[in-house]
Amino acid sequence: MSLTTIWSHKMRSGLTLLGVVIGVAAIIGMMAIITGLQKKIDEELSGLSAGVFQIQRFDNNVGFSHQHRDRTRPPIKWDYIRYLQDLPSVGSVGAEAWQWGQVIVTSLIQTNPNVTVAGGTSEFALNNGYTIEKGRFFTESEVNSKQAVAVLGSKLADKLFSNREPVGQWLRIRGRPFQIIGVFTEKAEMFDGGDKNFFVSIPLSAYENIFGLERGVFITVSSRTPAMMDEAMEESRILLRSIRHLKPQEPDNFAIWNNQQILDTFNNFTKWIKAAAMGIVAVSLLVAGIGIMNIMLVSVTERTREIGVRKALGSRRRDILFQFLVEAVVLSEIGALFGMLLGIGGPLILSAAVKFPVGFPVWTIVLALIFCSFVGVIFGIWPAMKASRLDPIEALRYE
């Protein structure tokens, strides 16, 4: 009977449900995007070797307020690694530096200025979670002797040598020739066009000859075991404070962070987005609830004679109350159903169009259904009580 009543006033019911549809679609769609992003970041960070953390000048906090302060910090120097290697909880220590927007030239092709050049020590591949598909990675002796060798990311290798074997070929970086000795295995990227596979890695000493290291380096440190990560980070922090002659009351002028801290920073940032989404949903459902109450009051007025007939035939007050409450809840749940379809379909289309990761936490769908039922009960109770309290004689006389 409830569905029949709703169906008989399709336009009116549809407009009433619009607020529910928007609210449910907003929360499911927003959570799908945030969850997909979190999952992808987690996968990318787990690609790095376990127990690895980084030391650099800049904090990993979201925002710009700290960047001016960080730029005034003294750079992290390459020779710090020889002190860090002696710490008891530390395994391998590597240094690296990055230069974006470079042109790579081979005998047949010249790229746009969109290639990243990474200078690294022999620990670069291990500490960054890269493996070699073809050839090999450069050794410590090649780093120390400033050998002009290079290892390509998989997409850059395809770009430069689509139908040829890249290992053994030559390329030029700012006019300097480098022989290719290996190609990295393709690594998963968050979005198309990322730098994870479109870069070339060369020895840090050769990188220094081309770009210099005035801005310092990033240092990657692996603890002896993943369980010793916190101990290794604390030992490294104390050592760096000593190297950089910091007094006890002075804050660190460097940053040490690991994958979990990056994830925590992201989660801290997204919690405000989630709070904003919940606010939008609350307002939408409040408006929708008022609409449901309004349409149910109209329905009670239009069906006064029907209520009188039902009471004359023996229906009790609670039967009438229950009937109108069910109609309000069903109305709200139909809106939730359309909102779910829109909230799931929209992100899926977006994901297919721009290869954006999405994920659908079950709790958001369950919560939407429960909350919409709650809205239906709260805003349907007054019209239902009004209907149940109608005097049957007066109701039968109603025209």
Q: What is the pLDDT of residues 262-271, one digit of tens each?
A: 777 777 777 7
**Once rounded to an integer, what is the mean pLDDT over residues 173-192?**
85
pTM attached to this predicted model: 0.66
- Look at residue 167 in the predicted model and tell me its pLDDT: 95
The rounded distance, in Å, linking the Cα atoms of 216 and 139 is 22
The rounded distance, in Å, linking the Cα atoms of 116 and 194 is 10
Please name the amino acid found at residue 53: F
- Look at residue 318 in the predicted model and tell me its pLDDT: 84
Q: Which residue has the higher pLDDT, 324 or 181?
A: 181
Among 46-55, 87-96, 152-161, the minimum mean pLDDT is found in: 46-55
Distance between first and last Cα of the chain: 22
The rounded distance, in Å, linking the Cα atoms of 148 and 78 is 19
By percentage, how much of the chain surpasses pLDDT 70? 90
CA 22 to chain centre: 23
387, exposed or middle or buried, with CB in 10 Å at 0-12, 13-18, 19+?
buried
- Supply 239's token pair: 């050592």
By percentage, how much of the chain surpasses pLDDT 90? 35
pLDDT, tens digit, 9 for 90 and up, residues 244-268: 999 998 999 999 988 777 777 777 7
